Amino acid sequence: MTGPPSYLVVGSGASAVTVAAVLAAQPQHRVTVLDLGGRLEDQQQQALQRLSVSDPVGWAPPDLALVSARSAGRGSRGIPQKRAYGSDYPFRDLGQTTGVRGEPADTNLDVVSSAYGGFTTVWGAQVMPFSRSTFDAWPFSWQEMEPHYRAVLDEVPLAGEDDDLAEVFPLLNPRSPLPPLGPRAEDVLARTARHREALRRHGVIVGRARLALRADGCTRCGLCMTGCPYSLIYSAAQTMDWLRRLPNVRYLDRLLVERIGQDGDEAVVRARELGSDRRHEFRADRLFVGAGALGTTRLVLGSLPDPPASLELAESRQFLVPFVSARPVADPRRAGTQDFTLNQFNILVSFDEQARDTSQVHCYPYNPAMLDALPLPLRSGPGAAAAGALVRRLTVGFGYLPSWASPTVRVVPRAVGLDELPEVTLVPDETTPRPPMLRAVMRRLQAAAPRLDLWPLRTHVTLTGAGKSYHFGGAFPHRSSPAEGRTPGTDRWGRLPQWDRVHLVDGSVLPTVASTTFTLTVMANAHRIASEVLAAQHSHPAPVVGGR
């Protein structure tokens, strides 16, 4: 093709905006972003706007009630579906999950987001790298990834502090400390300082959370889990808003991409316009696909001329563990006691000195959703006093196992029609009800309980279903030799053997998924891919994300 370099980017989530920012940093590049672009409803958006320009003491109760509506029930397995500003719009099906099924039957597979900003519109905002040893099994090293972690954190705000976790997970680019922690978190950290060596003998390391949060503006209004009214929690939508103001970026929404491929030296995308069902074709020098781990996997399976009969996903399986403490703290429901309700501290359970075989538990203080999860007799009437005593002692932990210690998940496609996304079924291996590592993790948490005053309720530990962790990918993993193996792999630039102008840039290419947080590594790897491609093309230093 002649003229300025042209690029197509699919998606507006974490990986897609990272790539778009790298590409658009060169003014001569023409970047077109194709996206579903689901948005918050007008009523909630207007209420949010009013809240965002005033102090919490002046918030109108109807506006507050509208944007702070909490999670909806989801049945017996897993946690309730989260809300963003009172809306389910991040999960709404605009065609991206039609035909996605679970086995056994599961109608709650919110595994591909239609939102402008993807799942970062509703995420927990935890940002930690993978450990150095995780990359021993990858075709590139920690040293090659570290500058890209740092570059991403030039754009994404990091609230965090230097503590014991930094020994194995470097604190790469902090902007500010966390907001003041709640009394339970402070008590656990104080106990950790007194009993550090004893905890280490059990392989337990405790440290503060690391969050994609502009913490210096936090008002501690308690609404973190339903959506910060001041937009202090990072979302990829914020970066995309900035990119759309650049003259060399074109953003097109309400498009469901159904096919990708290559025609000679041109990358090709075919998409269907929502509402009208009109088909559009787009061509460019290169295509970068960031539709999310399963969204990209499904798109590739529908686009390959000879797709495999099934693929294996690598998932860092999630488990839920409630903790109780003997020592109560002040009732968190009282006026004036509101804390920020994101993850406040982490417990890392490590089974080796290199922090490769680990489980990480993100510990959350009280938020009103905890009351919603209590049995009905405890929510009002005589049982309310017992509920009050419980919430003064309760901490909720969301834990993760590494993909290599988690049950496997297979993706089985079925073609349904020309230019339509294939149906896919997620088939989990549930032959082991409790993975061995989970049992070992619970034993170590139990051993650490007397020193932390965090006693895990082992009878109430829940292992969530396949795909429910949102920490999954690896259907087309980076390999040193992509053509080798039973199923397709990608080279270090996310390219399948069939296409050299099409790059997969999201979780679908991660060789493994560690138990630590997911999104920062996805973004760093996307930054690495785009930077290396441009450096090879133009022989100039790789640009960094952001630049504002």
pLDDT at 542: 41
Measured from the Cβ of residue 393, the count of other Cβ atoms closer than 10 Å reads: 17
pLDDT at 2: 67
Take residue 423 and report the two structure tokens written for it.
Answer: 């149906």
Q: What is the mean pLDDT of residues 31-37?
A: 98
Domain 1-36+112-119+126-156+234-309+473-548: which CATH number of 3.50.50.60, 3.30.420.10, 3.30.420.40, 3.30.70.260: 3.50.50.60
Take residue 33 and report the two structure tokens written for it.
Answer: 């972003």
Contact assessment for residue 340 and residue 218, using Cβ atoms and an 8 Å cutoff? yes
In tens, the pLDDT along 144-172 reads 999 999 999 999 999 999 999 998 899 99
pLDDT surpassing 90 at residue 539: no
Model confidence at 385, pLDDT cuts 50, 70, 90, reads confident
In tens, the pLDDT along 67-122 reads 998 765 544 444 678 899 999 999 999 999 999 998 766 655 789 999 999 999 99
pLDDT at 75: 46
Angle of helix 14-24 versus helix 236-243 axis, rounded to 10: 30
In tens, the pLDDT along 294-353 reads 999 999 999 999 999 999 999 999 999 999 999 999 887 775 556 788 999 999 999 998
Smallest CA-to-CA distance from 307 within 299, 315, 319 is with: 299
H or E element, residue 399 = strand 394-400
Calpha distance 139→130 (Å, rounded): 15
Calpha distance 290→293 (Å, rounded): 8
Prior bond of 179 cis (ω within 30°): no
Contact assessment for residue 234 and residue 212, using Cβ atoms and an 8 Å cutoff? yes
Residue 53 to residues 2, 46, 227, 302: CA-CA distances in angstroms?
Answer: 48, 11, 15, 46
Q: Beta strand pairing status for 358-364 and 394-400?
A: antiparallel
Distance of CA 329 to the CA centre of its chain: 31
pLDDT at 544: 42
Higher pLDDT, 1 or 389: 389
pLDDT at 228: 94
Which residues, at least 6 apart from 154, have a Cβ–Cβ distance to it below 8 Å?
173, 544, 545, 546
Which amino acid appears at position 175 of this protein? R
How many residues appear in the chain?
548
pLDDT at 432: 65
Domain boundaries, the chain: 1-36+112-119+126-156+234-309+473-548
pLDDT at 546: 40
* DSSP designation for 224: G
- Sole residue written with tokens 């269907």: 272
In tens, the pLDDT along 245-303 reads 999 999 999 999 999 999 999 999 999 999 998 999 999 999 999 999 999 999 999 99
pLDDT at 466: 84
pLDDT surpassing 60 at residue 404: yes
- Sole residue written with tokens 């230097």: 162
In tens, the pLDDT along 232-244 reads 999 999 999 999 9
- Sole residue written with tokens 């409803």: 41
Take residue 495 and report the two structure tokens written for it.
Answer: 């390219």
Calpha distance 489→486 (Å, rounded): 9
pLDDT at 338: 65
Model confidence at 548, pLDDT cuts 50, 70, 90, reads very low
Decide: residue 473, CB within 10 A, 0-12 exposed, 13-18 middle, 19+ buried: buried
In tens, the pLDDT along 415-457 reads 988 889 999 999 988 776 689 999 999 999 999 999 999 999 9
Calpha distance 394→455 (Å, rounded): 10
* DSSP designation for 502: E
Percent of the chain exceeding pLDDT 90 equals 76
In tens, the pLDDT along 165-213 reads 998 899 998 899 999 998 999 999 999 999 999 999 999 999 999 999 9
Smallest CA-to-CA distance from 152 within 526, 534, 538, 548 is with: 526
pLDDT at 28: 96
pLDDT at 76: 41
Contact assessment for residue 394 and residue 455, using Cβ atoms and an 8 Å cutoff? no
Distance of CA 331 to the CA centre of its chain: 31
Residue 529: strand, helix, or coil: helix
Calpha distance 6→277 (Å, rounded): 26
Mean pLDDT estimate for the chain: 91
Q: Beta strand pairing status for 409-414 and 30-34?
A: unpaired
